[in-house]
């Protein structure tokens, strides 16, 4: 685990979550390991130019302002081939951004799901139902691919 003053969001990013520890605001899980940043997740997303959000009614909006007023079913994508979706409202502390990599889901409880990235050896339990995550992943694939 490395404290990272400056990290770029790229295709290696797997998960992005809020993290409150002395001087750290984000925990960044990549294919190469876990890093920490002093910037919050939304600031990192903003710097990565994930500027297009597609809501459930398919209206395109800039995410810099719209993420502050959460709308259901946000899926972000960029022209660089990066796509992500939040597990909850982006303003919630327990929100985790899941990026476009192959993973499987495992039921833990009605409100918790384990995401497994076998190719990277990464396992993460998330506070969201398997049904919700499945729908979000489906939306991500429909928009991205």
Please tell me the distance from the alpha carbon of residue 66 to that of residue 31, in angstroms, as a whole number.
29
Dihedral sign computed on CA atoms, order 36, 68, 131, 108 = positive
Domain segments of the chain as ranges? 2-144
Backbone phi, psi, residue 29, to 5°: -100, 120
Per-residue pLDDT, 44: 82
Is the overall model pTM greater than 0.85, yes or no? no
Span 67-82, pLDDT tens digits = 454 445 567 766 667 7
Span 95-130, pLDDT tens digits = 999 988 899 999 999 999 999 999 999 999 999 999
């Amino acid at each position: 685990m490395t404290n990272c003053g400056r990290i770029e969001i790229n295709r290696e990013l797997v998960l992005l979550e809020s993290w409150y520890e002395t001087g750290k605001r984000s925990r960044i899980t990549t294919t190469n390991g876990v890093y920490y940043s002093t910037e919050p997740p939304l600031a990192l997303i903003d710097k990565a130019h994930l500027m297009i959000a597609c809501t459930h009614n398919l209206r395109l909006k800039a995410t810099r302002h719209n993420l502050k007023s959460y709308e259901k079913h946000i899926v972000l994508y960029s022209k660089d081939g990066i796509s992500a979706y939040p597990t909850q409202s982006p303003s919630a502390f327990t929100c985790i951004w899941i990026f476009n990599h192959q993973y499987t889901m495992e039921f833990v409880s009605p409100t918790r799901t384990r995401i497994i990235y076998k190719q990277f050896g990464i396992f993460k339990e998330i506070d969201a139902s398997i049904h919700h995550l499945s729908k979000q992943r489906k939306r991500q694939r429909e928009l991205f691919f």
